[in-house]
Structure 1
Amino acid sequence: MSEGIKDLNGENFDQAVNSGVALVDFWAPWCGPCKMQTPILESLADKVGDEVTLAKVNVDEGPEIAARYGVRSIPTLIVFKDGEVAQQFVGVKQEAELKQAIESAQ
């Protein structure tokens, strides 16, 4: 995983999304579309740098976080602004669409 993408769990999730803009990918290692989403996020991480938190939550390891946000299908990508859900996507999304969602949340 890219250095620009954080791995979140129950201990660090709230801190990661509570201030500023964060894009969180809810995924699982056995999910084919999730594997397609990862390189897109890695490319996005290189472009947005430190101004946005990019992170992943493994739903097998953090089912309580997924349940809190009603994640039923993966990949689900959620854009947070200061801890609140700004936008939510289900399925593989292209970099341009994710970048636009981040920019509108900033």
Structure 2
Amino acid sequence: MKEISRQQLIQMLGSQVGVSLVYFYSPFCGTCKLATKMLEVITTEIYPTLQISKCNINAVPDVAQSLKIKSVPLLLIMKHGEIVEEIYAFRSIEYLDKILEPY
């Protein structure tokens, strides 16, 4: 996963092309640390070509507010600039595998 800047996030949110996955986290969140490890397994072992961008929610409070983000961790899935899924409960690698399989 690649860390993205505020500007890159705004560009991604405005993109009308393809599928974008953005993982929002906080470095102070224990659950986020577990979620990060789960996503690393997904992107290295199960779907090595899957691109997930990550963004520290503390660095983009205005964007988080405009997206009405309730909590972290959050995996936001967008198609053609529209939010199609918000995943707050990461549950397990198997659960994430089923959600991410179409992407």
Instruction: Report what 1:13 is aligned to.
Output: 9
> Taking structure 1 as reference, are residues 23 and 93 closer, same or farther at Cα in structure 2, changes over 3 Å only?
farther
Distance across 2 between alignment mates of 1:97 and 1:15: 29
Structure 1, unaligned stretches of length 5 or more?
none
- Superposed CA deviations along residues 4-52 of structure 1, whole A, max 9, x for unmatched, are x1212221114445332222211100001001101111111113233x3
Alignment of 1:1-106 (within 5 A): 5-16=1-12, 18=15, 19-46=17-44, 47-50=46-49, 52-104=50-102, 106=103
Note the residue ranges of structure 2 that are not aligned, 5 or more in a row.
none
Contact 2:90 2:96 in 1 (8 A): no
Matched residue SS, 2:70: coil
RMSD (CA atoms):
2.0
In structure 2, what is the Cα distance between the partners aligned to 1:53 and 1:65?
A: 21
Range that drifts further, 57-66 or 11-20? 11-20
* TM-score, length basis structure 2: 0.80
CA contact (8 A) 1:10 1:62 kept: yes
Number of aligned pairs? 100
State the structure with more CA Rg.
Answer: 2
